């Protein structure tokens, strides 16, 4: 699997995300992005996947990195998995939404389809902030006619045994569920 090489003749998928996509605390090539890459190959889709995720990244960081990644990989599909670190740092939801909007538009203008990966935050951030954060992804997807994974951690969020010791990052046993959650929305985009 050519996960970190320049795009060749095969159509490509670019994943731009944070630690949830960058295999933080996991054995190399065991994260959901790598699992998707293997599934793409097994199902002979012809797509290569390129992981341009950085642990700790925010939507601002992703926005600044996206132009170079688009120019380098020329993806047909861009998967944006960012925003969690914005919320964990209590950053402005308007700024996060603006950044995700700009990234989505930029990717679409390059000719790529966009799949936004939604997240949720714990209720201790306050009900209003929590609800507005969740709505951010839906709003950006709707506004730009982009596809949406409603919640990356669906099916694992309440099971502590599927998280690393920090209680934030899913462990290796959870990665297949994450890959399946993304695949549900990604597969129709491959046609």
According to DSSP H, which parts of 28-162 are helical?
32-42, 59-73, 84-88, 93-109, 127-144
Q: Is the alpha carbon torsion for 145, 147, 152, 154 positive or negative?
A: positive
How far is Cα 184 from Cα 66, in angstroms, rounded to an integer?
A: 24
Instruction: Reply yes or no on whether 52 is catalytic.
Output: no
Tokens 């599934």, located at residue: 39
CA 28 vs. chain centroid, Å, equals 18
Catalytic residue among 19, 21, 59, 110: 19
Instruction: Reply yes or no on whether 74 is catalytic.
Output: no
How far is Cα 70 from Cα 67, in angstroms, rounded to an integer?
A: 5
Distance (Å) of CA 112 to CA 13, 52, 84, 85, 135: 9, 16, 23, 25, 23
Instruction: Reply yes or no on whether 166 is catalytic.
Output: yes
Catalytic residue among 55, 60, 74, 169: 169
Active site positions, annotated: 19, 166, 169
């Amino acid at each position: 699997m050519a996960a970190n090489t320049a795009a060749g003749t095969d159509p490509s998928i670019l994943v731009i995300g944070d630690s949830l996509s960058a295999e933080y605390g996991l054995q190399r090539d065991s994260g959901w992005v790598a699992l998707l890459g293997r599934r793409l190959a097994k199902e002979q889709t012809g797509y290569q996947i390129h992981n341009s995720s950085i642990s700790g990244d925010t939507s601002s960081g992703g926005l600044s990195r996206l132009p170079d990644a688009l120019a380098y990989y020329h993806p047909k599909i861009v998967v944006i998995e960012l925003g969690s670190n914005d919320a964990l740092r209590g950053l402005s939801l308007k700024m996060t939404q603006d950044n995700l909007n700009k990234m989505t538009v930029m990717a679409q203008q390059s000719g790529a389809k966009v799949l936004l990966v939604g997240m949720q935050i714990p209720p201790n951030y306050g009900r209003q902030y929590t609800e507005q954060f969740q709505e951010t992804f839906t709003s950006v997807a709707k506004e730009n006619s982009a596809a949406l994974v409603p919640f990356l951690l669906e099916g694992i969020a309440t099971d502590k045994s599927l998280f690393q010791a920090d209680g934030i990052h899913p462990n290796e046993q959870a990665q297949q569920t994450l890959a399946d959650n993304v695949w549900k929305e990604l597969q129709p985009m491959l046609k």
